[in-house]
Structure 1
Amino acid sequence: MKINEKYLESLKSFDDYVTVSEWAEEVVKKYPEILKKAEKNVINHKVPTSALQQVTRQISSEITRGKYAEYIKIDDTERPRRVKYISKEELDENTTQDIEEDLEPLNRKEIEKYSEDKMALKELYRLDEFRNIQKAFKTFFKLDFELDHAKALLNKQDAGEHHPDNFQLILKYHNGKKSNNNWKRFTIKEQIEYIEKAIELQSLLASRLDIVIDKAILDSILSRLKAVY
């Protein structure tokens, strides 16, 4: 069995994501000869290092170079990154899902363009104002709100419309969690409360982020939002 095959066999021991160092620990536990070889290699290292660190570096380097791309799934949403062994069936399923997700922006743009071509002037104005309000929060308060469709355009069971009556502003992180799920649209009262809570949190870091929380600007933006919501 080749060394990379031993690495993968070790990773199969885990049912969930693990760090690369945890993977390396399992490797040397399962295959002591790998540890012995690494111990010989580190003897003459200028920088003090352990055999386990050497194995961890080797695996980490190979992950970065894509050597195990067909066999592992990587979660790099936090550090250190975590990995998980995936079967061929899981890989095929993930590949199909990735393709669908890559196509989503194009599908969404086509739906939006088709809808906007049919919108009355008033709806186009509301759409434009929603987008301007979104930009204003980014410019003046460094808040990354996204213009969300409460009923998602790409929901497979009950797709929503690209229309101002379906718009709401939610933070990018929350929108990522929402994905293509349908949520009940905020009432205007709920929408304003949500925005004010986000502003309140932002104000705690205002001095560090070089932000001035200008109440007059906020009131003006919220007034515009009420008018088109």
Structure 2
Amino acid sequence: MTTTINDKYLHALSLTSDWLTVSEWACKVAEVYPDLLVAADAQAAKQKNDTTGLREIAARLSSRLSSGGFGASVEVDASERPKKVRFLTPSEQQQHEAEEVEEDLAPLRRIDIIKRDSEQLSVAEQYRIDEFEAISRQLKAYFGLDFEVDHAAALLNSKAPGKHHPDNLQLLLKAHNAKKHASNWPRFSFTEQKQYIEAAITLQTLVAVRMDVEVETRVQASLLSRLEAVYGS
């Protein structure tokens, strides 16, 4: 059976269970397959731009990752910069495929739950939910902050799913909400929610000029007052 260069790249990655950057992966390839480094060095010497064999290997790894050349054998964590990768065994690949199917279906499940629970809401409760959503949008519009309306007890939590009800809602930054995912967190008291939003606005104000974001601080008190009116206990 012929061993392809892809096979060699994957084998080098499979020798560690750690997450590696593409550069670290390239070093691992060079360590395990020095002949590939020799060939890459020779090709780099012919390039007009200043490069090295290691950089050439890293560029090839990066290009194949971007084009899906490694299929499901490599897991990518793009939450950091530079991104990190790790090798997936066949059993891990099957588990990831099952999890991806669940994630793809999750929005439809959430829609069904929200539709079901919404039928039980009073007009006042639906108004409170509408205000949460409106305030979330306005925090984005006036402060450049990606706040999302979160269910403190997650709708898709497998052990204790929450309900779509205003007493189960809070505002979380998108990054924090992504980390929370389907976990159940104690809901913020309004005092905690207010402190959380104010802290986020303060940080955004400090870097707004550098990010070319215009922060409109005059609406802060109004939005927080509206949120307090619909937050509940």
TM-score range, shorter chain: over 0.9
Q: Which residue of 2 aligns with 1:212?
A: 216
Q: TM-score, normalised by structure 2?
A: 0.91
CA deviation map 1:6-65 (0-9, x unaligned): 221111121111112211212222122212222332332222322222222222222222
Q: Which residue of 1 aligns with 2:223?
A: 221
Q: Which residue of 1 aligns with 2:183?
A: 181
Identity of aligned residues (%): 43
Answer with 180-189 or 41-50: which moved more: 41-50
- Out of 191, 201, 204, the position equivalent to 2:203 is 201
Distance 1:54 1:201, change over 3 A: closer
1:11 equivalent to 2:13? Answer yes
Q: CA deviation at 1:81?
A: 2.0
Q: Distance in 2 between matches of 1:207 and 1:36?
A: 48
Map residues 80-229 of structure 1 onto 2, 5 A cutoff: 80-208=82-210, 209-214=213-218, 217-229=219-231
Contact 2:143–2:214 (8 Å) recurs in 1:
no
Q: Distance in 2 between matches of 1:56 and 1:202?
A: 35
Contact 1:206–1:212 (8 Å) recurs in 2:
no
Q: Which residue of 1 aligns with 2:29?
A: 27
Distance 1:210 1:90, change over 3 A: same
Contact 1:72–1:86 (8 Å) recurs in 2:
yes
Answer with 188-197 or 159-168: which moved more: 188-197
Moved beyond 4 Å, runs of 4+:
none
Q: TM-score, normalised by structure 1?
A: 0.92
Contact 1:153–1:159 (8 Å) recurs in 2:
yes
**Count of residues paired in the alignment:** 227
RMSD: 1.6
Unaligned runs of 5+ in 1: none
Distance 1:46 1:114, change over 3 A: same
The amino acid across from 2:214 in the alignment is D
DSSP-derived class of the 2:51 partner: coil
Q: Distance in 2 between matches of 1:53 and 1:223?
A: 55
Q: Distance in 1 between matches of 2:159 and 2:43?
A: 58
DSSP-derived class of the 2:171 partner: strand
Unaligned runs of 5+ in 2: none
